[in-house]
Homo-oligomer: A and B are copies of this chain.
Amino acid sequence: MTTNQLVEQIKQKKSFLCIGLDVDLNKIPQYLLKEADPIFAFNKAIIDATHHLCVAYKPNTAFYEAYGIKGWQALEKTINYINEKYPEIFTIADAKRGDIGNTSTMYAKAFFEDLAFDSVTVAPYMGKDSVEPFLAFSDKHTIMLALTSNAGAFDFQTKEIDGKEVYKHVLETSKSWKNAQNLMYVVGATKAEYLADIRNIIPDSFLLVPGVGAQGGNLQDVCKYGMNDNVGLLINSSRGIIYASNQDDFAQMAARKAEALQKEMALILG
């Protein structure tokens, strides 16, 4: 999917919502555990109920790997279901991968070819040659961690190198990498006040913004400092939407939570 197609979808749906599909079997309605594939059954119901309110789905791979092969089968079924039934939706494998070059190529194949995701999240610690193998896939997007939503972001990301924070070095350095036009960045909603500075460095890039909802980030602040002419934001909510209810009405209640965010977004888009 091209960035233009993503922007077009945002305008049509008046939404820049991404829904995180982080399925924990302890938190889903317990009657679903009788299904042959409870994770996929849960995802399918959530997707069918929310696809018109969001522009992206983001399964976090940890929640699938924790269930072993059954988890990977559920992940495969989920991405295939989205691609077949709602091909307009942007898909993100939230995997936070990164390794030496030939190994990163294998990760890129895993998420872009074996599982046909539009994008994957990557970690920057190993530098240029750990990220460029992802960028080499010209019709795909690579979403690199910059400033994350958790407390641990202050351990290294905000420390200063030559008077400038590590995450700013990550942003600036990455602009010179081959096929940098395929980069998007993760910036946590809990750190909205940093967004003005970030936009000075990467005015045009899309930002994936987790941390609205359960983690306490504020949508208005994120938009005030982070939005650009193409919107340029994908706001993720996971637990706040998918676990709105653990009863029969879970999909309906998830849609209600998604709709509340979508309406707030429609107002902001004007």
Contacts and interface: CB of A to CB of B under 8 A. Distances in A.
Nearest to A73: B69
Interface stretch (A38-46, A101-109, A248-256): A101-109
Given A129-B151, A150-B101, A159-B169, A68 B62 contact: no
A128 interface: yes
Interface in A95-148: 96-101, 103-104, 106-107, 109-111, 114-115, 123-131, 145, 148
A7 interface: no
What number of copies of this chain does the assembly contain? 2
A21 to B, nearest CB: 13
Contacts of A193: none
B72 A69 contact: yes
- Max count, chain B CB within 10 A of own CB: residue among A69, A126, A169, A173: A126
Nearest to A62: B106
A161 interface: yes
A110 B65 contact: yes
Contact of A156 (B65, B72, B109, B166): B166
A73 B72 CA distance: 10
A144 to B, nearest CB: 10
Contacts of A182: none
A32 interface: no
Nearest to A127: B152
Interface in A28-77: 60, 62-63, 65-69, 71-73, 76
Contacts of A86: none
26 contacts: A62-B104, A62-B107, A63-B103, A65-B110, A66-B110, A68-B76, A68-B114, A68-B115, A69-B72, A72-B72, A96-B97, A96-B98, A98-B123, A101-B150, A124-B125, A125-B156, A125-B157, A126-B150, A127-B153, A128-B155, A129-B150, A130-B152, A131-B152, A159-B161, A159-B166, A160-B161
Given A124-B155, A127-B150, 10 more contacts: A24-B106, A65-B114, A66-B110, A67-B114, A69-B72, A72-B72, A123-B123, A123-B126, A126-B150, A130-B152
